[in-house]
Structure 1
């Protein structure tokens, strides 16, 4: 008891002590190491130069320049690429990849029987032009933007207009808005005088919601503290997402490994200092344009109550070897946006093409997509990374052209399953032993569908998916046992039942209550940028896919669709295999399915079993 009393007395004295004085802070000097040639001697900071496409021995295999870089490494290691994937596997892979949906039965049959030499190219172009492309690839960007429809923290208040940024992202990706413009608007769209008509300028301003999509606490007592936290979060996000550098590590002290000082962090933060106007108990949605630029200070130990030396906006020194300086006559953020998208910047193009490659193959050319610093992984194919980066800029920053280059390549079209026999099987086994992690991409990497694709796929194969685009987030019904635990109004179910079956990107994203199906399958929390999702394997996932009300309902819908179209059991089994796996069943599979039904199981039970198979949940 005496010890507790003493501790309480000491705590009271500590709380009464004044905080360190900030008097004379403007006179303080910044102490930081100079950037040396050694600091800049790192692959990510080297200028992007288009490498020569390497020569290869197997000249009939490459379809694109990408293939020559991949094949050259394989040949160097005496490895061979896997055989081409068969057409059913290829269309399934491509549709899931580009649209996040399985191919329809008609799509499969048309592609498999299309003997034109450009059949695959036609399929690629149709999927890239589909509105479903933006819904699929928009989610990857929203993961990076830490997008949600609420503020987070204790009260988790709803942001009524947040969905407009989500819709902007989907539309920009579908329109193939050049990536430099895509970035420029999200940093300084309110200054985009060249954006065109008023409606376009309004959209450009809306894009700045990227900076403010993270968590916020509008009801905090100190607006100064709130402002400090928001600005630091914006700075960390811009550094990680756009430059692939962990700037957030330098908000309290110099970065331990990278040549990023604490002053570098606050100089980057200074670009945004004039862009946020806060009101108590009110969310902020977009950045604002003001000419009254406040004085920025380095915050001692990252403490919002301890301003240190003053500083001005400046580009990160380690990647600004030309010593470019922002103009005092231009908006700081507009200057930052121009510098970020300048072709001389060595990081912006490298970071985004690596992210695109990662989503197609499961792992980027460097496996640390938001850390290109000295502690990040070196690229497995550095010349290919620069080749694609240069190609992006040459093609007017068109990301769709990069997608097309990748999926048209031979390396994308190789098989992901082990050959059953012959010399190809021996080559496969040799490559598996020599490169078990498949870093050299001799075979296509097998991947499980993510949370949104599983849900959307279940709706699609049962003809239940609502393809409507845009608008506020929808809230499907939650499990009854969960509803009992919620506060009043925390999840107000959307009245329209048809809206419940819309694509997953339109599901209301609450920070403090992730939609249960998504949480089960590793959707991130949106508290910080997510460059690569975790992929767990848990018993709960199996239970949800077997027993949840959603899967039960979907299985029944699928059974109803199949039985309405086919009355013969064999034909029903055939239809299920085409819908779920994009292929015809073999004789043993037909026998097993018909015997299962003959044993007393219902068609719904068969549908549920097939939806739970690895062949549905994984893409080869």
Structure 2
């Protein structure tokens, strides 16, 4: 506003001229088109000075459209000194703009003192360095306070005097900012500003991201500053207001040695030119020396007036103690609170007067009437608060949490290097938001912008499972379960039908391998074949579902999805790092499947078991509490390197991201990974939803209160029990130590008594010298002492046996009693195991979108929530924790309850599809971990929905789901193709041509055994299998050639335990398993590959494992079948294939055994050894066959 004339109630047209508003009716000469701040072209606009804003014709039009009152718009022009210039020859059809402008000016010049010149209010204002540093926008330098004012400056000195041993850094106002920002500075949990990052060199101003006790004693959130070898460190505070000043704070040296000198001073702003400075005024000073009373130097300053723009300086320099580098490494905790009373504050900016015209001029091209990019409309406060795709643009009272400030302050918006808002304009927006975003508008709470359309919801996987009626079919004689109706309806529509049932021998082997992963024993096959009851097959299924081996078989499938491994940091073949106690999670999974734990409960316990019980306050842990805590190990399997100090917050978020990847593919059947950086390319999964879901996990994976892998263990007893046990064990250790000390002292007394007796035989003249030489440490003896010690060493040496012989009966009895007591004490100690669990740590952190996936680039604030596409529009679930027990957020429990809602589109579908896959070799949806648009379509969508609904309605029982599938005709079919050995196929031969991939299941799929089942089956048929369950994993070797094997410990049969109990490595699984496609676990495995390679054939033919167990199988056959070769062949076929050989197989096998035995004799082997050797070769041949490696 012009300063030469005050604003009054009436003005002549000349006054309008003086107010800086010029209206030109003619074009300016030689005027070329210019570009507006938002990038559009304009004609006839002149720049009338550095301090004046330029209002274009289209700005006026937009202001009119925005509905701004003429009065407020005119007031803006007057206050801002706006210059309006129009080329009326270019805008003759819009001449009314001139009229509008003149009227606006006239009314503005008549505004009353409530608009211009009102008395400014006062208030008490407080600043905290700790709070502002942590909440400042991006922790920039300078860092803003909560009102958005850039008040905190991180500086260093530039000049010094004197030699290095006594150098004095001059506090002369010639200060410059610290210019580099880093995380985990010096490899420590300190994030902030530093003089130089590479190589790292102080001064530094930082915040501790976690507790640190070694070397530095700080807590998360502490502000830690340190001078450098060349500069003192300074934290400056720039007062944004005038008033009465109060300062409270402390400097505390927190390193284990050294000390600092500190100063509190005031002065003007540091000059931009370091050739000039100023003489500061000292307000307080002192020293802080570690380990002394001065370690914490507190200060209080009161009664000082401060002017707006004046600085306070908090300076740390090293003590002048003569050390070569007096300014290095003196970490100091700085705590400062500044209060200004009677602070004169400006009236907050008005939305209509100050903010909306700015937005209209700079933002409405892309976020206004015609265009609303990212669904963001900035024309009204209601729409601004509503926001767009990335959430609200403004959070009232929180400029540092407002997306609008985030984008304009960092120059991301408006687009274009030359279009960025000035610092004054950004400060205006900050002040307005900090004041609560006041407006005269009647603000309406609008619902958030929907990023999911009805078209998006139309995708089959994003709709709740439907209750489907069973279809009618013609061939009802082939229907055994509802599953058959759905499959047969599709087959009949193609003119196809089911294949004949498989032979009973094929069926029994199929069911055994599918349900328990071990081939049936010949006796079990025989019993089933002889069982003529109609429900014999159903009885067999029920028997196998009750087997403890069922959980081992089906638990392995879930462990794949969870990414289970027994080790960590598996980057080197030759080094194995066990992950202590994680095996308890594996046992939990196996027991859960054996107990037929309802899947909804199974899932809930794994996601939020710790929130279902108040374990922190429990007097004792019962079995249920231990089980609930163990279940949360589900979320503890991803690769984690954060034990190492050099890894900062990026690695922590990498762990969180990979945990979310595992969870989403295993439970939701969706790929979320790309949403870290942007909206999903194929599925309606906005980036915001990714971070809302992440917020459900962040209280437990708290990046600012991080639990390193070494700290993620809970005792399997309650905290109270653990304290009592530790205390009792300490007492026992003390008793042992006291008894040991007493025994040692007694023996020493006897030894001294014997020494005195022997010294008595030495002449008096040298006795004292000899005693001193003997008792003196060898490295402290002089020449004489060395001579005497060597001369009398033998005669004065007293062995332990000599002491024992010299003990009196009383002494001997005392030692014996003490030794007995000491030996008995350790047995009284109690022990406890460890559980790798997940639990909430500290207060839930504030969650943001990470722009482009950069953890340091905080975007819009997000609240915990679930993907919008999976939520019912009418009744969306809340992620706010309710019903949880103990000190926890309850967010994961809310997540689990949302997942197990009956109307959830994916949870039941994904799981029943996975079970279907493991029974048929292919899921109804082939991509088990991807039900989105980029995944495959279901082959039988109605069947999938029917299975999911039925699964939910019958209590989420997994064993019941197995029975439904295994009892169906579809499952019982033969896998043989027509015309390929099946004498009575009964199958329409057109199946090969109409459905060559067997998607419609007109026959059973031929499936190769998984890696673990190949190994387990070899162990089972050889008779060597160790069926013991649970416990720590069996260790495996790590030879240089990579041919790893199971170790024979802790029992001789440990190498023969089932594969699920072998030590599971992330990158280097047991070699025989790796060859048969045991997965590498970068995160998890929702679907294994199924390859057929030459390497597999070579391994089977040359594996020492196969050689060993072929010989054991041969021994077993000889013991069971006797000497008759034909009987041995028949038993071999029964053990390996669960069937009798046909005549041709029998004849060829007998001939092979005879020829092989003769061959061994001819090469010099004894006759009595030739037969067993030939039988071992025969067994090896059977184990190498496709029939053994595949399930028909």
What TM-score do the two structures reach when normalised by structure 2?
Answer: 0.49
Q: Could you tell me which residue of structure 1 aligns to residue 20 of structure 2?
A: none
Distance 1:327 1:269 in 2: 13
Matched, 1:309 2:860: yes
Contact conserved, 2:451 with 2:684, CA < 8 A, in 1? Answer: no
> Which stretch shows the higher mean deviation, 97-106 or 283-292?
283-292
- SS of the aligned residue for 1:429 comes to coil
Structure-to-structure mapping, 1:50-449, within 5 angstroms? 50-154=467-571, 157-193=577-613, 198-220=622-644, 221-276=646-701, 278-280=706-708, 282=710, 284=712, 285-290=836-841, 292-321=843-872, 322-327=875-880, 329=882, 331-418=890-977, 425=985, 427-449=987-1009
Contact conserved, 2:500 with 2:987, CA < 8 A, in 1? Answer: no
Distance 2:597 2:882 in 1: 28
Q: Could you tell me which residue of structure 1 aligns to residue 350 of structure 2?
A: none
Q: How many residues align?
A: 600
Structure 1, residues 272-314: CA drift from partner, whole Å, max 9, x if none?
1111353456263321135621101111211222222211101
Distance 2:994 2:1088 in 1: 27
Structure-to-structure mapping, 1:432-471, within 5 angstroms? 432-471=992-1031
Distance 2:1069 2:494 in 1: 45
Deviation of 1:158 after TM superposition, in Å, equals 1.8
Structure-to-structure mapping, 1:457-496, within 5 angstroms? 457-476=1017-1036, 481-482=1041-1042, 494-496=1049-1051
Contact conserved, 1:25 with 1:308, CA < 8 A, in 2? Answer: no
The alpha-carbon distance between structure 1 residues 589 and 397, as it changes in their structure 2 partners (threshold 3 A), is: same
Between Structure 1 and Structure 2, which shows a larger proportion of helix residues?
Answer: 1
Distance 1:147 1:509 in 2: 8
Distance 1:98 1:607 in 2: 25
Deviation of 1:457 after TM superposition, in Å, equals 0.2
Structure 1, residues 434-489: CA drift from partner, whole Å, max 9, x if none?
11110000100001111001000000001111000000110255668437xx9xxx
Distance 2:709 2:912 in 1: 39
Matched, 1:617 2:1189: yes
Distance 1:328 1:185 in 2: 15
The alpha-carbon distance between structure 1 residues 480 and 460, as it changes in their structure 2 partners (threshold 3 A), is: farther
CA RMSD of aligned residues (A): 2.5
- SS of the aligned residue for 1:298 comes to strand
Structure 1, residues 199-236: CA drift from partner, whole Å, max 9, x if none?
21221121111111121113332342232112111222
Contact conserved, 2:676 with 2:852, CA < 8 A, in 1? Answer: yes
Structure 1, residues 356-387: CA drift from partner, whole Å, max 9, x if none?
00000011111111111111111111111011
Q: Could you tell me which residue of structure 2 aligns to residue 3 of structure 1?
A: none
- SS of the aligned residue for 2:568 comes to coil
Deviation of 1:80 after TM superposition, in Å, equals 1.6
Distance 1:49 1:280 in 2: 44
Q: Could you tell me which residue of structure 2 aligns to residue 589 of structure 1?
A: 1145
Distance 2:537 2:1092 in 1: 34
Contact conserved, 2:1019 with 2:1056, CA < 8 A, in 1? Answer: yes
Deviation of 1:194 after TM superposition, in Å, equals 10
Between Structure 1 and Structure 2, which shows a larger proportion of strand residues?
Answer: 2
Contact conserved, 1:159 with 1:283, CA < 8 A, in 2? Answer: no
Contact conserved, 2:661 with 2:1083, CA < 8 A, in 1? Answer: no
Distance 1:423 1:576 in 2: 25
Distance 1:427 1:417 in 2: 10
Which one of the candidate residues 1079, 1084, 1092 is aligned to 1:529? 1084
- SS of the aligned residue for 1:372 comes to coil
Distance 1:231 1:417 in 2: 47
The alpha-carbon distance between structure 1 residues 479 and 493, as it changes in their structure 2 partners (threshold 3 A), is: farther
Distance 1:295 1:480 in 2: 48
Deviation of 1:495 after TM superposition, in Å, equals 4.3
The alpha-carbon distance between structure 1 residues 385 and 539, as it changes in their structure 2 partners (threshold 3 A), is: same
Contact conserved, 2:499 with 2:986, CA < 8 A, in 1? Answer: no
Deviation of 1:193 after TM superposition, in Å, equals 3.6
The alpha-carbon distance between structure 1 residues 173 and 497, as it changes in their structure 2 partners (threshold 3 A), is: same
Contact conserved, 2:587 with 2:1031, CA < 8 A, in 1? Answer: yes
Q: Which consecutive unaligned segments of at least 5 residues does structure 2 have?
A: 1-178, 184-191, 194-397, 408-447, 713-835, 884-889, 1158-1173
Distance 2:453 2:1039 in 1: 58
Distance 1:506 1:522 in 2: 18
Contact conserved, 2:563 with 2:1085, CA < 8 A, in 1? Answer: yes
Distance 2:1039 2:647 in 1: 38
- SS of the aligned residue for 1:60 comes to helix
Contact conserved, 2:486 with 2:943, CA < 8 A, in 1? Answer: yes
Distance 1:58 1:497 in 2: 56
Structure-to-structure mapping, 1:519-598, within 5 angstroms? 519-566=1074-1121, 567-598=1123-1154
What TM-score do the two structures reach when normalised by structure 1?
Answer: 0.92
